Amino acid sequence: DAGVIQSPRHEVTEMGQEVTLRCKPISGHNSLFWYRQTMMRGLELLIYFNNNVPIDDSGMPEDRFSAKMPNASFSTLKIQPSEPRDSAVYFCASSLVGARGTEAFFGQGTRLTVV
């Protein structure tokens, strides 16, 4: 398996524009997580899904952020409108919840810069 695939790897956009980050989890995994990493705040959990259903979105900063998982092989994180303070590295991770396969595997991340 190619692992968790995120796209794009880098995104530079202007304030006010819509940004969509994409994630393809590892095939067969049933949990998916979106994290944001900044120097100031560290690694923050934004939202996670189990079997394509959002379980906890309490980490989503505000209504400008939304996430979807239309099927088991694809998820998006959308920011509309984007602001400079959204600049960060966004990670997607997936895992198989069960007796043994509980670790999460991370993608390479999307580095977002909002100017």
Partner 1 sequence: AQSVAQPEDQVNVAEGNPLTVKCTYSVSGNPYLFWYVQYPNRGLQFLLKYITGDNLVKGSYGFEAEFNKSQTSFHLKKPSALVSDSALYFCAVRDIGGTASKLTFGTGTRLQVTL
Binding-site ranges for partner 1 (CB under 8 A): 4, 31, 33, 35, 42-43, 45, 48, 50, 55-56, 91, 93, 95, 97, 99-100, 102-109
The least distance separating partner 1 from the CB of residue 112, rounded to whole angstroms, comes to 14
Rounded to 5°, the CA angle 34-114-77 comes to 25
Of 35 and 82, which has the nearer Cβ to partner 1? 35
Rounded to whole angstroms, how far apart are CA atoms 37 and 35? 7
Write the secondary structure of 47-107 as one string of H (helix), E (strand) and C (coil).
EEEECCEEEECCCCCCCCEEEEEEECCEEEEEECCCCHHHCEEEEEEEECCCCCCCCEEEC
Is the sign of the CA dihedral 24, 37, 85, 64 positive or negative? positive
The least distance separating partner 1 from the CB of residue 53, rounded to whole angstroms, comes to 8
The least distance separating partner 1 from the CB of residue 114, rounded to whole angstroms, comes to 19
Of 30 and 66, which has the nearer Cβ to partner 1? 30
Of 80 and 102, which has the nearer Cβ to partner 1? 102
The least distance separating partner 1 from the CB of residue 16, rounded to whole angstroms, comes to 27
